């Protein structure tokens, strides 16, 4: 029980677990068509399924963030994995929409525990010079997991049923939840060369002060608009190609999954690498990377939703996604480095709370309702590049402000 994992093994295990996290989350987008047909629900109600997940996710994230700065994180991680896996399995047995919404909220609750504490644990295992790379590796599980969720979900639904897709993808996590428990976790603030952050337990007032940190708020506000767009995009992506371009469900899910994993891997790693290099020569390297990459993607997203030719639309979407994935590592690195070390878990919790409460909690359902209202999913999704433009605006301000900064926040906060 006293053995401590090396930083490399800690990162590898947490990344692997994060992969299952996103597989379970994105199975839903692959099975929307058969799920909708069996339950006889509207597009607005379909969007509500994603909303239910987000309610469970963002409402509980502040609780887990508060606990993550005070108690052993491996237990919070274990509980999170078990709960989200159980919720995924139970989704496959839901007889009605109401019960299904409750199980998806349970998935969100479990993922909140994992998402708020894992980055904090990684941050304590890697010094500032290696932290961006480590977080980039950790978050590369997003595109890979999303792709596998779409691919596996589509294949299982085609050969068996949409219910089997949830059951089979959720089951492994019930065992994997135990993987970190035998090991001792790294002390808070260890990678920064001080144990002070480990001794000072932040108060609720310290957490509230996060809202008065300009750099933290700019990155979170931009991330909120970015998440609004990508949340709805992930939910409706395969269905867009089914309806607008007449593709069958499995080819649409396979394309979307394959595109996500290829552009996600390349974009996340290349974006993380370029941001790291830029940061060496410019204190705003991380911020410029996320701002400019999202700005470049905006016209490409518009073209992907409006071009009548299927191949041209797919090509534009793939290039846009490549640039959108540039933000994955740097945005979370900025979030952590904008706050004191003893508030890392709380900062991640506040970020999760904000980006989902004002971001993708509503976006999938809004797109669904607009699709019902306008009788056109193609028109409804055009609100998403507007959200990306807003994200780029906040991050451009962040980059300019960071360029002018003199001293970063490095010391843990103290409170009365």
Q: What is the value of pTM for the model shown?
A: 0.75
Q: What six digits make up the tokens of 334?
A: 């900025």
Set out the domains of the chain in order of their start, with CATH numbers.
7-189+201-404 (1.20.1250.20)
Q: Please give the pLDDT value at position 410.
A: 43
Residue found by looking up tokens 């979170």 in the block:
220
Q: What six digits make up the tokens of 351?
A: 């970020």
Q: What is the residue-level pLDDT of the chain in tens, covering all 416 positions?
A: 467 778 888 888 888 888 888 888 888 877 888 888 888 888 778 778 877 887 888 788 888 877 877 778 888 888 889 998 999 999 989 888 889 999 999 998 888 888 888 888 888 888 777 877 888 888 888 878 877 887 888 888 888 888 989 998 888 888 888 887 777 777 766 656 554 444 467 677 777 888 889 999 999 999 999 999 998 887 788 888 888 888 887 788 778 878 888 898 899 889 989 998 999 888 889 999 999 999 999 999 999 999 999 999 999 999 999 999 999 889 988 998 888 877 877 888 888 888 888 888 788 888 888 988 898 888 999 999 999 999 999 999 999 999 887 654 444 444 43
Q: Please give the pLDDT value at position 270.
A: 93
Q: Please give the pLDDT value at position 219.
A: 95
Cβ 28 vs Cβ 81: under 8 Å: no
Q: Please give the pLDDT value at position 413.
A: 43
Cβ 222 vs Cβ 398: under 8 Å: yes
Residue found by looking up tokens 């239910």 in the block:
52
Burial class (CB within 10 angstroms; exposed 0-12, middle 13-18, buried 19+) of 262? middle
Q: Please give the pLDDT value at position 409.
A: 44
Q: What is the dihedral of CA 159, 162, 166, 172, to 10 degrees?
A: 0
Q: Which of the 8 DSSP states describes residue 186?
A: P
Residues whose CB is less than 8 angstroms from the CB of residue 329 and which lie 6 or more positions away in sequence, other chains included:
132, 133, 135, 136, 139, 268, 271, 272, 275
For 195-222, b/e burial (b = at least 16 CB within 10 A) is ebbbebebeeebbebbeebebbbbbbbb
CA distances (Å), origin 224, targets 151, 325, 361, 401: 27, 15, 10, 19
CA distances (Å), origin 415, targets 201, 207, 342: 9, 11, 12
Q: Please give the pLDDT value at position 43.
A: 77
Q: Please give the pLDDT value at position 192.
A: 60
Q: Which of the 8 DSSP states describes residue 356?
A: I
Q: Please give the pLDDT value at position 217.
A: 94
Phi first, then psi: give them for residue 208, nearest 5 degrees: -60, -35
Q: Please give the pLDDT value at position 84.
A: 86
Helix (H, G, I), strand (E, B) or coil at 187: coil
């Amino acid at each position: 029980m006293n053995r401590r994992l090396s930083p490399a093994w800690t990162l590898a295990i947490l990344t692997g677990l994060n992969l299952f996290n996103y597989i379970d989350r994105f199975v839903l987008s692959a099975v929307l068509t058969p799920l909708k047909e069996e339950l006889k629900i509207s597009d607005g109600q379909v969007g509500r399924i994603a909303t239910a997940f987000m309610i469970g996710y963002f409402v509980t994230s502040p609780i887990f963030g508060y606990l993550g700065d005070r108690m052993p994180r491996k237990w919070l991680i274990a509980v999170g994995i078990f709960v989200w896996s159980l919720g995924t399995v139970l989704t496959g047995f839901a007889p009605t929409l109401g019960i299904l919404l409750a199980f998806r909220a349970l998935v969100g609750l479990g993922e909140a525990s994992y998402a708020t504490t894992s980055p904090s644990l990684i941050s304590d295992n890697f010094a500032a010079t290696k932290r961006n790379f480590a977080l980039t590796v950790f978050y590369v599980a997003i595109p890979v997991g999303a792709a596998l969720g779409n691919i596996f979900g589509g294949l299982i639904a085609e050969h068996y049923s949409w219910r089997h897709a949830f059951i089979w993808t959720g089951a492994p996590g019930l065992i994997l939840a135990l993987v970190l428990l035998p090991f001792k976790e790294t002390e808070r603030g260890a990678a920064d060369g001080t144990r002070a952050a480990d001794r000072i337990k932040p108060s609720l007032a310290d957490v509230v002060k996060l809202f008065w940190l300009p750099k933290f708020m700019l990155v979170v506000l931009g991330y909120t608009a970015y998440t609004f767009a990508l949340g709805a995009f992930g939910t409706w992506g395969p269905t867009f190609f089914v309806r607008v371009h007449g593709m069958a469900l499995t080819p649409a899910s396979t394309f979307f999954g394959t595109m996500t994993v290829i552009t996600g891997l390349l974009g996340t790693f290349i974006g993380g690498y370029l941001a790291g290099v830029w940061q060496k020569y410019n204190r705003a390297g991380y911020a410029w990377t996320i701002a400019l990459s999202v700005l470049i993607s905006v016209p490409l997203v518009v073209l992907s939703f409006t071009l009548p030719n299927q191949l041209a639309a797919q090509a534009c979407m793939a290039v846009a996604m490549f640039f959108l994935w540039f933000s994955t590592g740097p945005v979370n690195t900025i979030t952590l480095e904008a706050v004191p070390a003893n508030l890392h878990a709380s900062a991640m919790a506040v970020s999760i709370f904000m980006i989902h409460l004002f971001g993708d909690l509503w976006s999938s359902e809004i797109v669904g309702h607009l699709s019902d209202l306008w009788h056109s999913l193609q028109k409804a999704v055009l609100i998403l590049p507007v959200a990306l433009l807003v994200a780029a605006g906040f991050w451009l301000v962040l980059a300019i402000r960071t360029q002018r900064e003199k001293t970063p926040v490095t010391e843990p906060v103290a409170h009365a």
